[in-house]
Amino acid sequence: MKKVELDIMALSHSATNSNNYAVVLGEVDGLRKLPIVIGGFEAQAIAVAMEDMEPNRPLTHDLFMNTLKIFDVAVQEVVINELIDGIFHALLICEGHGGVYEIDSRTSDAIAMAVRFDCPIYTYEEILAEAGIVMEEDTSHPEPADETTAAKPSRKRSTPKTFETMSDADLNKSLDAALEKEDYEKAAKIRDEINKRNG
């Protein structure tokens, strides 16, 4: 399967749930975005590393990083390798002592480790094609924020009736508006309705 490299584009507060955040991963050399809903603690873990903050005592991800380094193991890359029932799954690809090891991880934790090890984040083309949002033009440069987790809005969740009754043209206009406002959670729901109509 073809791997696609991603960058962290933004970490924003959820517009619909005050307890959740969304980490937005953007396709390198492309326009597609992959929004992933995460919890507050996970968002904080990512933000701390992105902003080069040094807490008084090591956070859990810092502890794990320090432990790996002491045993001469490094995270070489992170791969978001599955999307099952609306939830992203990831692997830490680690190298040390002459071997390469895959460690199963929540996506939010994997992204937090990628920031700490300054390693690339990848997903597969099939996952990006299914869950990514295509943006025609990328003129915004949102500020990155806190932590990350691996919970994506479930595709089994019912789409709001307002989307179901909208025309295709209105749906596309609403999608553009949601992306412009950086409301990626709403954009994902609209995208799901469009995908459902397209079969």
Determine which helix (DSSP H) or strand (DSSP E) holds 89, and give its type and residue range.
strand 87-96
Specify the range with the lowest mean pLDDT, choosing from 95-99, 149-153, 171-175, 184-188.
149-153
User: In this structure, which amino acid lies at residue 35?
Assistant: P
Residue 50 has pLDDT above 70, yes or no: yes
Output the 3-class SS for 15-68.
CCCCCEEEEEEEECCCCEEEEEEEEHHHHHHHHHHHCCCCCCCCCHHHHHHHHH
pLDDT for 63 beyond 70: yes
Q: Say what the pLDDT of residue 154 is.
A: 30
Q: In sequence order, which residues have a C-beta less than 8 Å from that of residue 92 and are 6 or more positions away?
A: 75, 78, 102, 103, 105, 110, 113
Q: Indicate the fold that domain 3-155 takes in CATH.
A: Bifunctional nuclease domain (3.10.690)
Q: Distance between CA atoms of 166 and 102, rounded to whole angstroms?
A: 44
0.75 exceeded by the pTM?
no
What are the domain boundaries of the chain? Answer: 3-155
Asked whether residue 129 carries a pLDDT value surpassing 90, the answer given is yes
